[in-house]
Amino acid sequence: MTIPTHKNSSAARSGALFLSAILLMSTFFHLAPTAAAADKPTAKPDQQAPKAAKPAQPILPTKVVVDAVRQEPLHQTVPVLGRFVARQTGVIATRINGAVGELRVDVGDRVDEGEVLAVLLKDRLQWQHNLQRAEVANFAAQLKTKKQQIKLRRQELERLKSLKKSPAFSQARLDDKSQEVAVAESEANEANAMLQMANANFRLTGIDLHNAEITAPYAGVVSKRHANVGAYMTVGAPLVTIIDDQTMEIEADVPAERIAGLSAHTKVPAVINKKSQIMAMVRAVVPEENPQTRTRTVRFIPVLQDGKFDLAANQSVTLHLPAGSARHVITVHKDAVINRKGKQLVVVAVEATTQFRPVVLGEATGSRFSVIKGLKPGELVVVRGNERLLPGTPLEFSPPSPAPAAGTNKAREATPSPEKIR
Protein backbone atom coordinates (compact mmCIF):
# COMPACT_ATOMS: atom_id res chain seq x y z
CA MET A 1 0.00 0.00 0.00
CA THR A 2 1.14 3.43 -0.84
CA ILE A 3 1.55 6.09 2.07
CA PRO A 4 0.69 9.65 1.31
CA THR A 5 3.65 12.01 0.97
CA HIS A 6 2.66 14.75 3.45
CA LYS A 7 2.41 12.19 6.28
CA ASN A 8 5.91 10.82 5.71
CA SER A 9 7.55 14.24 5.92
CA SER A 10 5.86 15.06 9.27
CA ALA A 11 7.01 11.86 10.83
CA ALA A 12 10.60 12.46 9.72
CA ARG A 13 10.60 15.96 11.21
CA SER A 14 9.30 14.69 14.56
CA GLY A 15 11.99 11.99 14.70
CA ALA A 16 14.76 14.52 14.06
CA LEU A 17 13.51 16.78 16.85
CA PHE A 18 13.36 13.87 19.24
CA LEU A 19 16.91 12.86 18.40
CA SER A 20 18.19 16.40 18.96
CA ALA A 21 16.57 16.57 22.41
CA ILE A 22 18.25 13.32 23.41
CA LEU A 23 21.67 14.65 22.33
CA LEU A 24 21.22 17.91 24.31
CA MET A 25 20.28 16.01 27.45
CA SER A 26 23.29 13.70 27.23
CA THR A 27 25.58 16.67 26.73
CA PHE A 28 24.12 18.45 29.81
CA PHE A 29 24.56 15.43 32.07
CA HIS A 30 28.09 14.97 30.80
CA LEU A 31 29.19 18.60 31.56
CA ALA A 32 27.44 18.95 34.96
CA PRO A 33 30.05 17.05 37.10
CA THR A 34 32.85 19.07 35.57
CA ALA A 35 31.15 22.38 36.38
CA ALA A 36 30.43 21.21 39.93
CA ALA A 37 34.03 20.32 40.43
CA ALA A 38 35.09 23.72 39.13
CA ASP A 39 32.74 25.49 41.60
CA LYS A 40 34.39 23.86 44.68
CA PRO A 41 36.90 26.22 46.58
CA THR A 42 40.66 25.47 46.39
CA ALA A 43 42.27 24.24 49.61
CA LYS A 44 44.47 26.85 51.45
CA PRO A 45 48.23 26.23 51.78
CA ASP A 46 48.08 25.79 55.54
CA GLN A 47 45.28 23.22 55.05
CA GLN A 48 47.48 21.19 52.80
CA ALA A 49 49.23 18.12 54.08
CA PRO A 50 52.17 19.03 56.33
CA LYS A 51 55.66 18.62 54.95
CA ALA A 52 58.66 17.24 56.83
CA ALA A 53 60.31 19.94 59.20
CA LYS A 54 63.93 21.13 58.45
CA PRO A 55 66.58 20.63 61.20
CA ALA A 56 67.35 23.89 63.33
CA GLN A 57 70.70 25.65 62.57
CA PRO A 58 73.09 26.18 65.58
CA ILE A 59 73.62 29.81 66.86
CA LEU A 60 77.22 30.95 66.22
CA PRO A 61 79.05 32.67 69.14
CA THR A 62 79.78 36.39 68.88
CA LYS A 63 83.43 37.41 68.90
CA VAL A 64 84.20 40.05 71.56
CA VAL A 65 87.11 41.45 73.56
CA VAL A 66 87.07 41.05 77.33
CA ASP A 67 88.99 42.56 80.23
CA ALA A 68 89.35 41.44 83.83
CA VAL A 69 87.98 43.28 86.84
CA ARG A 70 90.93 44.24 89.06
CA GLN A 71 91.60 45.20 92.64
CA GLU A 72 94.43 47.73 92.87
CA PRO A 73 95.65 50.59 95.07
CA LEU A 74 94.26 54.08 94.53
CA HIS A 75 95.87 57.38 95.50
CA GLN A 76 93.71 60.48 95.52
CA THR A 77 95.61 63.63 94.61
CA VAL A 78 95.06 67.37 94.67
CA PRO A 79 96.79 69.76 92.24
CA VAL A 80 99.15 72.37 93.68
CA LEU A 81 100.86 75.00 91.56
CA GLY A 82 104.63 75.25 91.96
CA ARG A 83 107.54 76.92 90.21
CA PHE A 84 111.06 76.03 89.22
CA VAL A 85 113.81 77.75 91.19
CA ALA A 86 117.57 77.58 90.70
CA ARG A 87 119.59 76.26 93.60
CA GLN A 88 122.46 78.50 92.53
CA THR A 89 121.77 81.93 91.11
CA GLY A 90 122.87 85.46 91.89
CA VAL A 91 125.18 88.36 91.15
CA ILE A 92 128.86 87.72 90.50
CA ALA A 93 130.77 90.61 92.10
CA THR A 94 134.35 91.85 91.93
CA ARG A 95 136.68 91.10 94.86
CA ILE A 96 139.14 93.97 94.37
CA ASN A 97 139.13 97.54 93.17
CA GLY A 98 140.01 98.16 89.56
CA ALA A 99 138.84 99.14 86.11
CA VAL A 100 137.32 96.55 83.77
CA GLY A 101 139.84 95.85 81.05
CA GLU A 102 138.05 92.95 79.33
CA LEU A 103 134.53 91.52 79.48
CA ARG A 104 134.34 88.10 77.85
CA VAL A 105 130.64 87.17 78.22
CA ASP A 106 127.30 88.58 77.19
CA VAL A 107 123.69 87.99 78.17
CA GLY A 108 122.56 84.49 77.23
CA ASP A 109 126.04 82.95 77.11
CA ARG A 110 126.45 79.59 78.84
CA VAL A 111 129.55 79.39 81.01
CA ASP A 112 131.31 76.55 82.79
CA GLU A 113 132.57 76.53 86.33
CA GLY A 114 135.88 78.39 86.52
CA GLU A 115 135.50 80.11 83.16
CA VAL A 116 136.85 83.70 83.05
CA LEU A 117 134.02 86.24 82.81
CA ALA A 118 135.99 89.52 82.95
CA VAL A 119 139.53 90.78 83.55
CA LEU A 120 140.41 93.94 85.47
CA LEU A 121 143.45 96.04 84.63
CA LYS A 122 146.23 94.30 86.58
CA ASP A 123 149.55 95.97 85.59
CA ARG A 124 149.83 97.71 88.97
CA LEU A 125 148.89 94.52 90.75
CA GLN A 126 151.55 92.60 88.90
CA TRP A 127 154.31 95.04 89.92
CA GLN A 128 153.14 95.08 93.51
CA HIS A 129 153.37 91.33 93.49
CA ASN A 130 156.89 91.48 92.11
CA LEU A 131 157.84 94.03 94.81
CA GLN A 132 156.61 91.74 97.53
CA ARG A 133 158.56 88.89 96.05
CA ALA A 134 161.71 90.96 96.31
CA GLU A 135 160.97 91.84 99.92
CA VAL A 136 160.57 88.19 100.70
CA ALA A 137 163.99 87.51 99.25
CA ASN A 138 165.47 90.44 101.23
CA PHE A 139 164.10 89.32 104.57
CA ALA A 140 165.09 85.73 103.85
CA ALA A 141 168.68 86.91 103.33
CA GLN A 142 168.58 88.98 106.53
CA LEU A 143 167.35 85.99 108.45
CA LYS A 144 170.17 83.91 107.08
CA THR A 145 172.69 86.60 108.16
CA LYS A 146 171.26 86.70 111.67
CA LYS A 147 171.54 82.96 111.96
CA GLN A 148 175.19 83.13 110.95
CA GLN A 149 175.81 85.82 113.55
CA ILE A 150 174.27 83.60 116.20
CA LYS A 151 176.59 80.83 115.14
CA LEU A 152 179.59 83.19 115.41
CA ARG A 153 178.63 84.45 118.88
CA ARG A 154 178.10 80.94 120.16
CA GLN A 155 181.49 79.94 118.81
CA GLU A 156 183.18 82.81 120.70
CA LEU A 157 181.24 81.94 123.82
CA GLU A 158 182.48 78.37 123.74
CA ARG A 159 186.06 79.57 123.31
CA LEU A 160 185.80 81.77 126.39
CA LYS A 161 184.34 78.93 128.41
CA SER A 162 187.35 76.80 127.52
CA LEU A 163 189.66 79.44 129.13
CA LYS A 164 188.09 79.27 132.57
CA LYS A 165 191.21 77.60 134.08
CA SER A 166 193.58 79.95 132.29
CA PRO A 167 195.03 83.07 134.02
CA ALA A 168 193.81 85.09 130.99
CA PHE A 169 190.14 84.16 131.66
CA SER A 170 187.75 87.07 132.23
CA GLN A 171 184.35 86.44 133.69
CA ALA A 172 183.11 89.81 132.44
CA ARG A 173 183.90 88.95 128.87
CA LEU A 174 182.14 85.62 129.26
CA ASP A 175 179.00 87.33 130.54
CA ASP A 176 179.09 89.91 127.73
CA LYS A 177 179.44 87.20 125.12
CA SER A 178 176.49 85.37 126.54
CA GLN A 179 174.39 88.51 126.19
CA GLU A 180 175.62 88.98 122.62
CA VAL A 181 174.40 85.47 121.78
CA ALA A 182 170.97 86.33 123.22
CA VAL A 183 170.82 89.58 121.24
CA ALA A 184 171.74 87.72 118.03
CA GLU A 185 169.01 85.16 118.62
CA SER A 186 166.47 87.96 119.18
CA GLU A 187 167.54 89.69 115.97
CA ALA A 188 167.14 86.38 114.12
CA ASN A 189 163.63 86.03 115.46
CA GLU A 190 162.86 89.57 114.35
CA ALA A 191 164.19 88.85 110.89
CA ASN A 192 162.09 85.69 110.76
CA ALA A 193 158.96 87.70 111.67
CA MET A 194 159.74 90.24 108.97
CA LEU A 195 160.16 87.39 106.51
CA GLN A 196 156.76 86.00 107.46
CA MET A 197 155.20 89.44 107.00
CA ALA A 198 156.82 89.73 103.60
CA ASN A 199 155.52 86.30 102.66
CA ALA A 200 151.99 87.29 103.76
CA ASN A 201 152.11 90.49 101.71
CA PHE A 202 153.44 88.50 98.79
CA ARG A 203 150.51 86.11 99.00
CA LEU A 204 148.00 88.94 99.39
CA THR A 205 149.27 90.62 96.24
CA GLY A 206 149.09 87.24 94.54
CA ILE A 207 145.46 86.87 95.60
CA ASP A 208 144.66 90.35 94.28
CA LEU A 209 146.38 89.48 91.03
CA HIS A 210 144.38 86.27 90.81
CA ASN A 211 141.12 88.08 91.63
CA ALA A 212 141.73 90.49 88.79
CA GLU A 213 140.26 87.68 86.66
CA ILE A 214 136.59 87.24 87.63
CA THR A 215 135.60 83.59 87.09
CA ALA A 216 132.26 81.76 87.23
CA PRO A 217 131.81 80.02 90.60
CA TYR A 218 129.37 77.54 89.01
CA ALA A 219 128.09 76.60 85.59
CA GLY A 220 125.07 78.39 84.24
CA VAL A 221 123.73 81.04 81.88
CA VAL A 222 124.46 84.77 82.06
CA SER A 223 121.09 86.45 82.59
CA LYS A 224 122.26 90.04 83.11
CA ARG A 225 125.38 92.17 82.68
CA HIS A 226 125.85 95.04 85.12
CA ALA A 227 129.05 96.71 83.82
CA ASN A 228 130.97 97.36 80.62
CA VAL A 229 134.63 97.69 79.68
CA GLY A 230 136.24 100.74 81.30
CA ALA A 231 133.94 100.91 84.32
CA TYR A 232 135.74 101.21 87.66
CA MET A 233 134.67 98.48 90.04
CA THR A 234 134.92 98.61 93.79
CA VAL A 235 134.96 95.61 96.08
CA GLY A 236 131.56 93.90 95.91
CA ALA A 237 130.34 95.76 92.82
CA PRO A 238 128.01 93.59 90.65
CA LEU A 239 129.44 92.46 87.35
CA VAL A 240 127.09 89.78 85.89
CA THR A 241 124.20 87.58 87.05
CA ILE A 242 124.32 83.82 86.44
CA ILE A 243 121.50 81.27 86.72
CA ASP A 244 122.40 77.59 87.13
CA ASP A 245 119.68 75.90 85.08
CA GLN A 246 121.14 72.42 85.48
CA THR A 247 120.30 72.02 89.16
CA MET A 248 116.72 73.29 89.19
CA GLU A 249 114.33 72.48 92.01
CA ILE A 250 110.57 72.84 92.36
CA GLU A 251 109.24 75.08 95.09
CA ALA A 252 105.59 74.96 96.08
CA ASP A 253 103.50 76.54 98.81
CA VAL A 254 101.61 73.51 100.12
CA PRO A 255 98.55 73.79 102.42
CA ALA A 256 99.42 72.80 105.95
CA GLU A 257 96.89 69.94 106.00
CA ARG A 258 98.70 68.27 103.09
CA ILE A 259 102.14 68.31 104.69
CA ALA A 260 101.57 65.04 106.56
CA GLY A 261 101.75 63.02 103.33
CA LEU A 262 105.00 64.66 102.14
CA SER A 263 107.84 62.94 103.95
CA ALA A 264 111.39 63.07 102.64
CA HIS A 265 112.03 61.16 99.38
CA THR A 266 108.29 60.86 98.62
CA LYS A 267 107.71 60.88 94.84
CA VAL A 268 104.72 62.69 93.35
CA PRO A 269 103.66 63.22 89.70
CA ALA A 270 104.07 66.65 88.14
CA VAL A 271 103.02 68.20 84.83
CA ILE A 272 105.10 70.74 82.90
CA ASN A 273 103.54 72.93 80.21
CA LYS A 274 100.23 71.07 80.70
CA LYS A 275 101.52 68.08 78.70
CA SER A 276 104.95 66.83 79.82
CA GLN A 277 104.71 64.55 82.83
CA ILE A 278 107.59 63.93 85.23
CA MET A 279 108.11 62.74 88.78
CA ALA A 280 109.28 64.98 91.62
CA MET A 281 110.85 63.84 94.89
CA VAL A 282 110.47 65.72 98.16
CA ARG A 283 113.83 67.10 99.34
CA ALA A 284 112.83 69.26 102.28
CA VAL A 285 109.85 70.82 104.03
CA VAL A 286 110.67 74.28 105.37
CA PRO A 287 109.44 74.49 109.00
CA GLU A 288 107.89 77.92 108.55
CA GLU A 289 104.21 78.59 107.89
CA ASN A 290 102.66 81.61 106.24
CA PRO A 291 99.99 82.80 108.71
CA GLN A 292 97.96 84.46 105.95
CA THR A 293 97.76 81.55 103.50
CA ARG A 294 98.34 78.69 105.95
CA THR A 295 100.92 77.18 103.62
CA ARG A 296 104.47 75.90 104.02
CA THR A 297 107.28 75.90 101.48
CA VAL A 298 108.27 72.48 100.15
CA ARG A 299 111.25 71.82 97.88
CA PHE A 300 111.11 69.00 95.29
CA ILE A 301 113.85 67.54 93.12
CA PRO A 302 112.55 66.90 89.56
CA VAL A 303 113.35 63.44 88.21
CA LEU A 304 114.19 64.08 84.55
CA GLN A 305 115.06 60.74 83.01
CA ASP A 306 115.81 61.95 79.48
CA GLY A 307 117.10 65.39 80.52
CA LYS A 308 115.59 67.05 77.45
CA PHE A 309 113.40 69.56 79.26
CA ASP A 310 114.31 73.23 78.74
CA LEU A 311 113.65 74.48 82.24
CA ALA A 312 113.68 78.11 83.30
CA ALA A 313 113.57 79.86 86.64
CA ASN A 314 110.02 80.69 87.80
CA GLN A 315 108.52 78.31 85.21
CA SER A 316 105.20 76.98 86.50
CA VAL A 317 104.60 73.30 87.20
CA THR A 318 101.53 71.48 88.54
CA LEU A 319 102.18 69.00 91.33
CA HIS A 320 99.65 66.29 92.18
CA LEU A 321 100.04 65.78 95.92
CA PRO A 322 98.44 62.92 97.86
CA ALA A 323 95.16 63.91 99.45
CA GLY A 324 95.04 60.94 101.79
CA SER A 325 96.37 57.47 102.44
CA ALA A 326 96.25 54.84 99.69
CA ARG A 327 93.37 52.34 99.61
CA HIS A 328 92.54 49.31 97.47
CA VAL A 329 89.54 49.56 95.13
CA ILE A 330 87.89 47.36 92.51
CA THR A 331 88.21 48.84 89.02
CA VAL A 332 86.65 48.12 85.64
CA HIS A 333 87.61 49.38 82.20
CA LYS A 334 85.68 52.42 81.01
CA ASP A 335 84.77 50.73 77.70
CA ALA A 336 82.86 48.02 79.58
CA VAL A 337 80.25 50.43 80.95
CA ILE A 338 76.97 50.85 78.99
CA ASN A 339 74.45 53.60 79.78
CA ARG A 340 70.86 52.51 79.12
CA LYS A 341 67.78 54.35 80.36
CA GLY A 342 69.75 56.15 83.03
CA LYS A 343 71.35 52.97 84.34
CA GLN A 344 74.96 51.83 84.12
CA LEU A 345 75.30 48.23 82.96
CA VAL A 346 78.21 45.90 82.37
CA VAL A 347 78.17 42.75 80.22
CA VAL A 348 79.80 39.97 82.22
CA ALA A 349 81.02 36.81 80.48
CA VAL A 350 79.65 33.94 82.58
CA GLU A 351 80.46 30.49 81.16
CA ALA A 352 81.00 32.04 77.70
CA THR A 353 77.54 33.64 77.67
CA THR A 354 76.41 37.19 78.31
CA GLN A 355 74.96 38.38 81.58
CA PHE A 356 73.88 42.01 81.98
CA ARG A 357 74.62 43.36 85.43
CA PRO A 358 73.92 46.83 86.90
CA VAL A 359 76.86 48.48 88.66
CA VAL A 360 77.49 51.47 90.94
CA LEU A 361 80.64 53.33 89.89
CA GLY A 362 82.92 55.65 91.81
CA GLU A 363 85.64 58.04 90.64
CA ALA A 364 87.74 57.60 87.52
CA THR A 365 91.27 56.23 87.82
CA GLY A 366 92.98 56.78 84.49
CA SER A 367 91.25 54.56 81.89
CA ARG A 368 89.19 52.71 84.51
CA PHE A 369 86.34 53.35 86.94
CA SER A 370 86.32 52.35 90.57
CA VAL A 371 83.42 50.00 91.32
CA ILE A 372 81.39 50.47 94.48
CA LYS A 373 78.92 47.65 93.88
CA GLY A 374 78.13 45.02 91.26
CA LEU A 375 81.43 43.34 90.33
CA LYS A 376 84.08 41.14 91.91
CA PRO A 377 87.81 40.96 91.15
CA GLY A 378 88.68 38.44 88.45
CA GLU A 379 85.35 38.57 86.58
CA LEU A 380 85.56 39.06 82.81
CA VAL A 381 83.63 41.94 81.24
CA VAL A 382 83.12 42.73 77.56
CA VAL A 383 84.89 45.91 76.41
CA ARG A 384 84.49 45.57 72.62
CA GLY A 385 81.22 44.60 70.92
CA ASN A 386 79.04 44.90 74.03
CA GLU A 387 76.57 47.35 72.41
CA ARG A 388 74.97 44.71 70.13
CA LEU A 389 74.75 41.85 72.63
CA LEU A 390 71.59 40.37 74.18
CA PRO A 391 71.25 38.40 77.40
CA GLY A 392 72.34 34.79 76.98
CA THR A 393 74.29 35.38 73.78
CA PRO A 394 77.16 32.88 73.40
CA LEU A 395 80.57 34.53 73.28
CA GLU A 396 83.94 33.79 71.75
CA PHE A 397 86.99 35.64 73.11
CA SER A 398 90.66 35.32 73.93
CA PRO A 399 91.87 35.44 77.54
CA PRO A 400 92.79 39.00 78.59
CA SER A 401 96.40 39.97 79.19
CA PRO A 402 97.40 39.59 82.85
CA ALA A 403 97.52 42.70 85.02
CA PRO A 404 100.99 44.06 85.95
CA ALA A 405 102.51 42.52 89.03
CA ALA A 406 101.86 44.32 92.27
CA GLY A 407 105.57 44.70 92.96
CA THR A 408 106.32 46.39 89.67
CA ASN A 409 103.15 48.34 89.00
CA LYS A 410 103.00 51.83 90.42
CA ALA A 411 99.92 52.84 92.34
CA ARG A 412 97.23 54.45 90.23
CA GLU A 413 96.35 58.04 90.95
CA ALA A 414 93.12 59.88 90.29
CA THR A 415 94.62 62.58 88.07
CA PRO A 416 96.90 61.91 86.29
CA SER A 417 97.74 58.20 86.24
CA PRO A 418 101.37 57.57 87.26
CA GLU A 419 101.49 54.65 84.81
CA LYS A 420 101.60 57.29 82.06
CA ILE A 421 104.44 59.22 83.74
CA ARG A 422 107.82 58.08 82.54
The β-bridge relationship of strands 77-86 and 276-290 is unpaired
Contacts of 379 (CB under 8 A, 6+ apart): 68, 69, 348
pLDDT digits (tens, 9 = 90+) for 376-416: 999 999 999 888 888 888 888 888 877 665 444 444 444 44
| Confidence class for position 76, pLDDT limits 50, 70, 90 | confident
Instruction: Output the CATH code of domain 94-119+213-242.
Output: 2.40.50.100
Whether pLDDT at 24 is above 90: no
Domain locations in the chain? 65-76+326-420, 77-86+247-322, 94-119+213-242, 122-211
* Domain range 65-76+326-420, CATH class: mainly beta
**343 burial class (0-12, 13-18, 19+ CB within 10 angstroms)?**
exposed
| Confidence class for position 20, pLDDT limits 50, 70, 90 | low
Q: Report the predicted TM-score, pTM, of the whole model to 2 decimal places.
A: 0.55
What pLDDT, on the 0 to 100 scale, is given for residue 132? Answer: 93
Whether pLDDT at 117 is above 50: yes
What pLDDT, on the 0 to 100 scale, is given for residue 352? Answer: 85
Domains 65-76+326-420 and 77-86+247-322 share a fold: no
pLDDT digits (tens, 9 = 90+) for 243-283: 998 889 999 999 998 888 788 899 999 999 888 889 999 99
Whether pLDDT at 57 is above 90: no
pLDDT digits (tens, 9 = 90+) for 301-330: 998 876 556 788 999 999 998 876 667 889
Mean pLDDT, to the nearest integer, of 17-23? 59
362 in Cβ contact with 54 (< 8 Å):
no
Mean pLDDT of the residues in the chain? 82
What pLDDT, on the 0 to 100 scale, is given for residue 38? Answer: 43
Q: Does domain 77-86+247-322 have CATH number 2.30.30.40?
A: no
Q: Pick from 148, 101, 162, 66: which is nearest to 385 by CA?
A: 66
| Confidence class for position 1, pLDDT limits 50, 70, 90 | very low
pLDDT digits (tens, 9 = 90+) for 212-250: 999 999 999 999 999 999 999 999 999 999 999 888 999
